[in-house]
A and B are shown apart, each in its own frame.
Chain A
Amino acid sequence: MALRSLNLPGVGTKYEFETDKGDTVAIFFTKTGIIQMYTLQKGCKTPSAAEMSPVEARRLGNILSGAIIEADQESVEIAFSALADLRITIHTFFVTPAFVGKTIEDLQIRAKTGATVIAVCRHDRNIINPPPTFAFEEGDAALVIGESDQIKKFESEIMVK
């Protein structure tokens, strides 16, 4: 697998690599900011293309690096090998109707699961470190941090209700 990067005048940067099985993947970061990904199957003549915004491209990158658990919900696990192999998971959840109108305190998130809500995304605006009195609304996305067991507990005990 040889990765080539190439600067194309007026267009942007091109990254191209061939897989061991002979398929080709090419990514173009254009000057307009959009990212185009092309795949060309071995023996095929016409590539197929997908166009992405930078956000979408990062999302794809997360999937490819193996961090996604479910579609629509992303999760990143960070390992601090210097601190006795500490592993921290950060996971996004879209709130269920059961959440609406309730505060973090009402839901007893920390007491029941040990996980902590560190941010809530509401209408493209981010609320970092919401206080216990923070009440959820419909359409909110919560960013929850904890050990992977705590995250699982959050999923089974808080989300399901």
Chain B
Amino acid sequence: MESLVLALFVCLVLALITKYLSIPAVPFYILAGVILGKAGGGMLTTNEISHFFSEMGLIFLLFFMGLGLKPERIASNRTAVLASGIIDLNINMIIGFAAAYLLGFSLMESIIIASAFYISSTAMALTSLIENRKLMLRESDTVIWLMVFEDLVLIVFLAIISAGNQNLVFFLIKILAVLGVLYALAHYGKEFLVSILDRDDELPILFTFAAVLITASFALYLGVPETMMVIALGVAFATTDPDAFEQHARPFKDVFLVVFFVFFGVTVDFSGGANWFVIGAISILAVVSKLVSGLLTGMFIHGSALSGLEIWANTIARGEFSIALAVIYGSPVVGTTIAAMVIVTSIVGSFIAKYSGILRRGIVSHSRHKALLRRSH
């Protein structure tokens, strides 16, 4: 219990500081976990309570992501989602996988690292667009839809990782069946659900919490991983009143997710056997490979490399989903590498996103200057 209280207190202080400076808090939550955990004296230790909280954090994160996925909306924007999404997926998966494999990770580990390497942080990208007042830029639409595409790909990754030894086809059919049942429940129980959500007593929030938890624990009996179950629940609930569900699930998500980040940091061990060369190489490549995919997307969609720079600036940061992949896979070496990558990319990303305007203007005036020089000769 003391661990949890200490973790919450540290997070509260960190949240206050980072919000005041308007920088992302996630890397600092992880660092706090690292410093107070194994690496630094073991003030924080994982126990049953922290484990439960972390699990809740992961479940609510995925439930929230499911709520945001509205299939009909994606279908109506197929071209916008597809073109940039496919460039982003291919470039970053290939670079991430090649780098991890060449640096000596096993095949499965490389796939996990490549997936975490590919998935940008949706939360950080959207916050950066709003806080840096970039919503009107045409590149920001591309970034927003890119995040939707990445969420879809993440679901596929999660399915593959958690399928384990099961027959993949049988496994997918099971997931689709679950989704179908939840969809039908949401569809036929819509009026009931909405009537619950409209109340202003404890019922809506209790219902939301219970529905997510019951669905997650029901997963055990069906042999479908709980991660897939809660996403499916989110997608099904999104057909009723997603805003109300978001509002009621947000407090749980916010608190549990912070604990999840800290205790993920606790499991990270930079001191013993961490290969700094490998960690550094992956982190730097993570920044560079998004530059490559960003530039290509910019040129392909907007016909301008400068647009690519803007896309890059807002998609550098890796965050919650990369960590989720690391936790679900659960290998300490992979976890350490991904933790370092998240810390580096999210800090670098937040600064580049803040100053991308200056960067763009600098490049434009520089090239204009060069053009003028050329003309005078």
Contact = CB atoms under 8 A, between A and B. Distances in A.
A47 B147 CA distance: 23
A11 B133 contact: no
Contacts of B148: 9-10
A14 interface: yes
A47 B137 contact: yes
Interface stretch (A25-33, A78-86, A92-100): A25-33
A32 B133 contact: no
Contacts of B68: 9-10
A7 B144 CA distance: 11
A9 B136 contact: no
A47 B144 contact: no
A47 B73 CA distance: 28
A47 B148 CA distance: 25
B135 A11 contact: yes
Given A28-B135, A36-B133, 17 more contacts: A8-B135, A9-B144, A9-B145, A9-B147, A10-B147, A10-B148, A11-B126, A11-B129, A14-B135, A36-B130, A38-B135, A38-B136, A46-B357, A47-B137, A49-B135, A49-B136, A51-B133
Number of contact residues on B: which range applies? 10 to 19
Q: Chain A CB within 10 Å — which of B135, B141, B246 has the most?
A: B135
Interface string B296-323: 0000000000000000000000000000
Contacts of A38: 133, 135-136
A40 interface: yes
Contacts of B190: none
Contacts of B144: 8-11
State the majority secondary structure of interface residues on B.
helix
Q: Chain A CB within 10 Å — which of B122, B129, B145 has the most?
A: B129
17 contacts: A8-B141, A9-B68, A9-B73, A10-B68, A10-B126, A10-B147, A10-B148, A11-B126, A14-B135, A30-B135, A31-B246, A34-B130, A36-B133, A38-B133, A46-B357, A49-B135, A49-B136
B70 interface: yes
Interface in A103-153: none
B141 A30 contact: no
B135 A26 contact: yes
A148 to B, nearest CB: 39
Q: Chain B CB within 10 Å — which of A10, A16, A38, A49 has the most?
A: A10
A28 B130 CA distance: 9
Nearest to A47: B136
A127 to B, nearest CB: 27
B60 to A, nearest CB: 16
Interface string A13-26: 01010000000101
Contacts of A24: 136
B15 to A, nearest CB: 15
A31 to B, nearest CB: 8
A11 B70 CA distance: 14
Q: Chain B CB within 10 Å — which of A8, A14, A28, A49 has the most?
A: A8
Q: Chain B CB within 10 Å — which of A16, A24, A49 has the most?
A: A49
B248 to A, nearest CB: 14
Given A9-B144, A11-B144, A40 B73 contact: no
B135 A9 contact: no
Contacts of B130: 11, 28, 30, 32, 34, 36
Interface string B126-142: 10011001011100010
Nearest to A34: B130
A9 B70 contact: yes
Contacts of B136: 16, 24, 26, 28, 38, 40, 47, 49
A7 to B, nearest CB: 7
Contacts of B135: 8, 11, 14, 26, 28, 30, 36, 38, 49
A26 B135 CA distance: 9
Interface in B129-188: 129-130, 133, 135-137, 141, 144-145, 147-148
A80 B133 CA distance: 42
Contacts of B133: 36, 38, 49, 51
